[in-house]
Amino acid sequence: MDFKDFKNNVLKLSEITLGGMEAQFELAPKFRQKYTQEFLEARDAKKAAVLALFYPNSQGKTCFLLTLRANYNGIHASQISFPGGKLERSDASLENTALREANEEVGIQPDHVRIFKQMTDVFIPPSNFMVTPFLGLLNYTPILTKNEEVEKNITVLLEDLLNENAFSTAIITTSYAKNMLVPCFNLSNCVVWGATAMMLNEIKMLLKEI
């Protein structure tokens, strides 16, 4: 999709009703449960936010950014995710969290990003986080950096996400489970599964409305 066309549809995207958990759970591993509000309140999940950033590449095509997390001693090491992280006391809002983390992790200037939609929260059971995704627009191709949390930046063509051939399954082993068969997206030679795939599927369903 040309970035000019994407940008012209941002207002429409901001007004479309979200697919919510129904859209997310199309890409959820089978072991993942749909949690009730009462359950989530009892868990008192920590708050976090991520940024799904859309921008043009050198050919004027719409792209978005994913990152490969660094290999560290933690639950989400070496996984594909959006830039983002936990809410800090200094953050005025979760939107500010997403922008601050994108700046710290990959060098995105917060005041250059136009946030145009908040997506459905996703609960992350292994780390007890409730993550709020935000969609943002950047009018130029960013010069990306990396901090110690990021192994690699991954630029994905939006048209690849919209291609039905991107959907697949994979066998995954993590720090908390072995040899799981999970639904996933194959994007830029990366297997994207779990919470990030759930977020992406809701974004994909949203984009199919325009």
Which CATH number characterizes residue 95's domain?
Answer: 3.90.79.10
Per-residue pLDDT, 77: 56
- β-pairing verdict for 80-81 and 62-69: antiparallel
- 66 with 144: CB under 8 angstroms? no
Instruction: Give CA–CA dist 61/3, Å, rounded.
Output: 5
In a domain, 177, yes or no: no
pLDDT top residue among 9 and 33: 9
In a domain, 175, yes or no: no
In a domain, 171, yes or no: no
Per-residue pLDDT, 179: 84
In a domain, 182, yes or no: no
Residue 31, phi-psi category: left (phi > 0), alpha (psi -120 to 50), beta (remainder): alpha
Query: Model confidence over 135-164: pLDDT tens digits?
Result: 999 999 999 999 999 999 999 999 999 999
CA distances from 71 to 50, 159, 171 (A): 19, 29, 19
In a domain, 112, yes or no: yes
In a domain, 168, yes or no: no
In percent, how much of the chain has pLDDT > 70? 95
The pTM of this model reads 0.93
* Domain total in the chain: 1
Q: Which domain holds residue 128?
A: 3-161+194-207
Q: What is the mean pLDDT of the chain?
A: 92
In a domain, 172, yes or no: no
Asked whether the predicted pLDDT for residue 129 surpasses 90, the reply is yes
